[in-house]
Amino acid sequence: MAKSIGDFLVELDTNSKLLEAYKKDPVATAKKYGLPDDEVQIIADKKWDELSKRFDDTSKTIRVINY
């Protein structure tokens, strides 16, 4: 299964090593994680509105994370 930017964001929230790598070099971390080029470009260009649009689709199932 291909990794998506959604999976990446969830893992950033739960994986401290990944988060530290992201803070140092977001683009390299996204590439190493295995995101497709178009999703890496969203991070590189800091297109947070585009990222938000991908999660604003109310027809998708809501993911609940419990700690």
Tens-place pLDDT, residues 14-61: 999 999 999 999 999 999 999 999 999 999 999 988 888 877 665 556
Give the confidence band of 65 by pLDDT, cuts at 50, 70, 90.
low
User: At residue 67, does pLDDT exceed 90?
Assistant: no
CA separation for the pair 57, 53 (Å, rounded): 7
Assess contact for 43 and 26: CB atoms under 8 A: yes
Assess contact for 26 and 20: CB atoms under 8 A: no
Looking at residue 54, its pLDDT comes to 75
Give the confidence band of 4 by pLDDT, cuts at 50, 70, 90.
confident
For the entire predicted model, the pTM comes to 0.75
The residue whose two tokens read 């683009």 is 27
Sign of CA dihedral 11, 12, 13, 16: positive
Crossing angle between the packed helical segments 48-55 and 5-14, to the nearest 10 degrees = 100
